[in-house]
Amino acid sequence: MEQALAADDARLQKRAELSIRVTQMADRTYNKQCGRCDWELVARDMDMPLIECLRLFDPSLSTVPVRSLPNITNWLADDISTLKSLVLEHFGVVTADEWILVSVYMNVEQADCYMANNTRAYQRMTPGMYKEITQHRNNGLQWKDIFELYPIFGSVQVLYYAYRQFKKHADFKPKAKPIKWSDADTCRLKELVQTYYKPGNRREVLTQAQMGFPNRSQQSIINKIKQIRCKTSDISQSDMDRVNKLVGAYGKDWERIGQEIDVSPLRVQRIWTRYQQQQKVTLAWTGDELDILRKCIDDGVGMAEASRLIGTKTLSACDAKMRTLKRAGKQQYY
């Protein structure tokens, strides 16, 4: 037991002596210009791994003043490059204890090191910098020349990335909200559609609409025309046949089919639904269908829901049969 304690004491004494030697040597390699000790030189002279030297360093014995760099703009390009390289080469994902070693190597407060390593590039770009760099670019300055004016970013690539990211995240003036269509404007456009629209050719109605609504964008007018046609135009047999053919070619890509036949994707879906319903329609009414229809009458369900529940009868067919059943006032209809 005494031998074990003696061995522990000897080991601790040796480590304390090593700690003093490492700390003194680090102080001798301190470079005031860069604000750091030359830890690579310390590791070579001590013939020890660099990380072990950092662990042995005793800040209470050191005469080197620790730097405080709380703002990212306080960091020089060389400091940032050194910090990133150290973390990447020796640590990867840095633990809480390892941040102490990073702080020793950089001779910077631990919290400041953590902040600098985790700050995104666009957060280092200030509005003033962004305006200045934009002006330099407008004056024809190359990125490599601009980087010499802003070495804090560490490299030309980081500077370019920071500029682009700031532009993306900057709080620019929001886009103006689109002007809503009033009821009066909608009625005027509806009249133009009824007068000038020709199936497969919307050029004439679009020209007339742009003349009538000069404050509207072309896309806004096109969207409104599609909306009006979707609500007002009847679905013809030729419409259903065309959509059926295009569904066979493109699948249920409503956007693409709508572009092919110049209607909105919503109207394409309605045409397809009408076509499918038409294919299911049979003239005769089965007993099950009549039971569903009677239940709809009892529950106060309209013809649209009845047609959906039955699935094989059109709205008009359901409406006619419901009227007949109501007039008959019977529980069963033959």
* pLDDT tens readout for residues 77-89: 788 888 888 888 8
Position 331 scores a pLDDT of 47
Residues 95 and 156 in one domain: no
Residues 270 and 315 in one domain: no
Q: What mean pLDDT comes out for the span 91-102?
A: 82
Residues 221 and 242 in one domain: no
Range of the domain at 269: 234-280
Residue 294 lies in a domain: yes
Under 8 Å between Cβ of 290 and 322: no
For the chain, where are the alpha helices, taking DSSP H only?
2-28, 39-46, 50-56, 77-86, 96-106, 110-118, 121-124, 127-138, 143-149, 156-169, 183-196, 203-212, 218-232, 237-250, 254-261, 265-280, 287-299, 303-310, 315-328
Question: Tokens 């076509």 appear where?
Answer: 275
Q: Tens digit of pLDDT for each residue in 115-145?
A: 788 765 545 678 888 889 989 988 888 888 8
Residue 199 lies in a domain: yes
Query: What type of residue is 247?
Result: V
- Give 207's contacts (C-beta < 8 A, 6+ positions apart): none
Q: Tens digit of pLDDT for each residue in 314-331?
A: 777 788 888 888 887 654
Give the CB-side neighbour count of residue 105, counting CA atoms within 13 A.
26
Residue 55 lies in a domain: yes
- Give just the sign of the alpha carbon dihedral 299, 302, 305, 311: positive
Residue 177 lies in a domain: no
Domain count, the chain: 5
Residue 174 lies in a domain: no
Residue 60 lies in a domain: yes
Position 55 scores a pLDDT of 92
Residues 163 and 191 in one domain: no
Under 8 Å between Cβ of 230 and 263: yes
User: What is the residue-averaged pLDDT of the chain?
Assistant: 80
Position 178 scores a pLDDT of 67
Residues 12 and 99 in one domain: yes
Residues 306 and 219 in one domain: no
